[in-house]
Amino acid sequence: MKKILVTGGAGFIGSHLCERLLEAGHEVVSLDNYFTGSKKNIVHLMDNPYFEVIRHDVTMPFFIEVDEIYNLACPASPIHYQYNAIKTVKTSVMGAINMLGLAKRIKAKVLQASTSEVYGDPKIHPQTEDYWGHVNPIGERACYDEGKRVAETLFINYHRQNDVRIKIARIFNTYGPRMHPHDGRVVSNFIVQALNGEDITIFGDGQQTRSFQYVDDLVDALLLLMNTEDDFIGPVNLGNPDEFTIMELANKVIELTGSNSQLIFNPLPSDDPMQRQPDISLAKKQLGWEPEIRLEEGLKKTIVYFDQLLSSS
Restricted to residues 84-113, the positions that interact with ligand NAD (CB under 6 A) are 91, 113
- From residue 62 to residue 81, the character string flagging contacts with ligand UDP as x (rule: CB under 6 A) and all else as - is ---------------xx---
In this structure, is the dihedral angle defined by the CA atoms of residues 289, 114, 8 and 75, taken in order, positive or negative? negative
State the nearest-atom distance from the C-beta of 58 to ligand UDP, in Å. 21
Q: Which of ligand UDP, ligand NAD, none does residue 269 bind to, with CB < 5 to 8 Å depending on kind?
A: ligand UDP
* Interface with ligand NAD: number of residues (CB under 6 A): 27
CA distance 236 to 200: 33
Tell me if 42 contacts ligand UDP by CB under 6 A. Answer: no
Beta bridge partners of 7: 31, 71
| CB-nearer residue toward ligand NAD: 235 or 261 | 235
Per the CB < 8 A criterion, the answer to whether 257 and 195 are in contact is: yes
Strands 3-7, 68-71: pairing is: parallel
Q: Which residues of 78-95 are buried (b: 16+ CB within 10 A; e: fewer)?
A: bebbbeeeebbbbbbbbb
Residue 144 among the catalytic residues? yes
Mark the segment that binds ligand NAD (CB under 6 A) among 52-60, 197-205, 263-271, 298-306.
52-60
Catalytic residue among 70, 81, 119, 144: 144
Name the 3-class secondary structure at 170.
strand
End-to-end CA distance of the chain: 38
Secondary structure of 183-224 in HEC code, one letter for each residue: CCCHHHHHHHHHHCCCCEEEECCCCCEEECEEHHHHHHHHHH
- From residue 85 to residue 124, the character string flagging contacts with ligand UDP as x (rule: CB under 6 A) and all else as - is ----------------------------------------
Restricted to residues 243-302, the positions that interact with ligand UDP (CB under 6 A) are 246, 268-269, 272
Restricted to residues 145-204, the positions that interact with ligand UDP (CB under 6 A) are 173, 185-186, 189, 201-203
Q: Which of ligand UDP, ligand NAD, none does residue 36 bind to, with CB < 5 to 8 Å depending on kind?
A: ligand NAD
Mark the segment that binds ligand NAD (CB under 6 A) among 10-18, 219-227, 285-293, 295-303.
10-18
Tell me if 176 contacts ligand NAD by CB under 6 A. Answer: no
State the helix-helix crossing angle for 295-311 and 186-195, rounded to 10 degrees.
Answer: 50
Cβ neighbours of residue 313 under 8 Å, at least 6 residues apart?
Answer: none
Name the 3-class secondary structure at 244.
strand
List phi, psi (to 5°) of 212.
-100, 130
Candidate residues 4, 5, 18, 35; the one interacting with ligand NAD per rule CB under 6 A: 35
Q: Which of ligand UDP, ligand NAD, none does residue 14 bind to, with CB < 5 to 8 Å depending on kind?
A: ligand NAD
Which residues does the annotation mark as catalytic? Answer: 144
Residues that bind ligand NAD (CB under 6 A): 7-8, 10-14, 32-37, 57-59, 72-76, 91, 113, 115, 171, 173-174
